[in-house]
Chains A and B, each alone.
Chain A
């Protein structure tokens, strides 16, 4: 999806109607160390969680923890909007949650893995509670667990 103007009309209209923050500048936290000494977590909005964990419902502002030793086969998706094709993630969860790729980078010594990654629900039209409550709570959990870097992935 390189540009909105290349999308099918229905998709383009939906995206243009989504409320989007308009910001000046951005917060900035430099990594505390070179990447090889950092512990990386994935934080996704793909609505993923461990099998058996409570599924997301549309508009759910909460997050789910996915411990880094969770078998890939036990990472499932409850972001089941029929507005996008879920077949790719059925085939390979790494298209949204590249945990196997990160594990390979750990083996190579490129980086470390945080104890857990996290998932939020996507397709949110009202992000106020995420911005004010659950997002900061996730940041606290990541810090408490020793994570240094978060790779943010969308649905």
Chain B
């Protein structure tokens, strides 16, 4: 749809398509169907050669004389190569006893996260709450207070950001800290492995379950929507 809008607005477009059935119906002007999962429009991370091949194939569609154009990227995914559906909290049984001290644990993750920053050239997905990695312990304390049912808030919350949205951002930053800390030690880890560890073996995972419970207990649709984004 976006490609059609931009094309009608005078911009030549070429699109990457992940769901061929949808593209056949929507009919963007030029589209390259690729056999990759959601989140991997240009192919696997770190594979610059493949990413360039995908780019070249998409840009080549600009030579077409008329559209709509829908071309399949020549590589085909192997049967059974599809990743499983993302692991959700409700499918992971927490360790028994479950770790409890999320603030202490987050401090440990901050140290491991330093290794990730060295590896990634300073890039981190911790960004949405507005607090830096060094202050994620404050974010954890905020989430603990929120989960406990109090009138929790942080001075850093922008006034135009509603509390449930900020809680979601804070949860996302905690997840990003932990995921990147895990990747620092196990660079080849897949998302489902990290998710099982996070929801099953960390105090932060148990904290976010409690945060979700408080959000979902509200009748406010915005709180319920935030709950759906924190944990399922």
Interface residues of A (CB under 8 A from B): 1-4, 6-8, 10-11, 15, 18, 20-32, 35, 38, 40, 43, 45-46, 51-52, 55, 57-58, 72-74, 76-78, 80-96, 98, 100-102, 104-105, 111, 120, 127, 130-131, 135-136, 138-140, 142-143, 147-155
Q: B51 — nearest CB in chain A belongs to which residue?
A: A101
**Residues of chain B in range 1-56 having any CB-CB distance to chain A below 8 Å:** 1-22, 25-29, 35-46, 48, 51-52, 55
Q: Are B39 and A131 in contact (CB under 8 A)?
A: no
Selected from A52, A73, A80, the residue in CB contact (under 8 A) with B122 is A73
CA A92 to CA B3, docked complex, whole Å = 24
Q: Are A143 and B10 in contact (CB under 8 A)?
A: yes
CA A70 to CA B47, docked complex, whole Å = 21
Q: A120 — nearest CB in chain B belongs to which residue?
A: B2
Selected from B52, B62, B76, B88, the residue in CB contact (under 8 A) with A2 is B76
Q: Are B25 and A21 in contact (CB under 8 A)?
A: yes
Q: Are B51 and A98 in contact (CB under 8 A)?
A: yes
Q: Are B51 and A73 in contact (CB under 8 A)?
A: no
Interface residues of B (CB under 8 A from A): 1-22, 25-29, 35-46, 48, 51-52, 55, 58-59, 62, 66-68, 76-77, 79, 82-86, 88, 120-125, 127-128, 130, 165, 168-169, 172, 175-176, 179-180, 183, 189-192, 194, 225, 229, 231-232
Q: Are A139 and B41 in contact (CB under 8 A)?
A: no
CB distance from A102 to the nearest CB of B (A): 7
With A31-B62, A152-B2 in contact, is A1–B82 under 8 Å at CB?
A: yes
With A2-B20, A51-B127, A73-B121 in contact, is A130–B2 under 8 Å at CB?
A: yes
Q: Are A6 and B68 in contact (CB under 8 A)?
A: no
Q: A59 — nearest CB in chain B belongs to which residue?
A: B225
Q: Are A88 and B27 in contact (CB under 8 A)?
A: no
Selected from A18, A26, A76, the residue in CB contact (under 8 A) with B7 is A26
Q: Are A98 and B42 in contact (CB under 8 A)?
A: yes
Work out how many contacts link A and B, with CB atoms closer than 8 A.
262
Selected from A90, A149, A153, the residue in CB contact (under 8 A) with B42 is A153
A-B pairs with beta carbons under 8 Å apart, 10 shown: A2-B77, A23-B26, A76-B128, A86-B179, A94-B42, A131-B1, A135-B1, A138-B5, A151-B13, A151-B15
CB distance from A94 to the nearest CB of B (A): 6
Q: Are A87 and B9 in contact (CB under 8 A)?
A: no
CB distance from B50 to the nearest CB of A (A): 10
Q: Are A35 and B191 in contact (CB under 8 A)?
A: no
Selected from B19, B29, B169, B180, the residue in CB contact (under 8 A) with A1 is B19
CB distance from A144 to the nearest CB of B (A): 11
With A58-B225, A88-B40, A152-B2 in contact, is A23–B25 under 8 Å at CB?
A: yes
CB distance from B169 to the nearest CB of A (A): 6
CA A91 to CA B19, docked complex, whole Å = 23
With A1-B19, A85-B191, A88-B44 in contact, is A80–B29 under 8 Å at CB?
A: no
Residues of B within 8 A of A98 (CB): 42, 51, 55
Q: Which 5 residue pairs across A and B have the least CB separation, nearest first? A: A139-B9, A92-B45, A135-B5, A85-B191, A73-B123
Q: B84 — nearest CB in chain A belongs to which residue?
A: A8
Q: Are A4 and B19 in contact (CB under 8 A)?
A: yes
Residues of A within 8 A of B168 (CB): 80
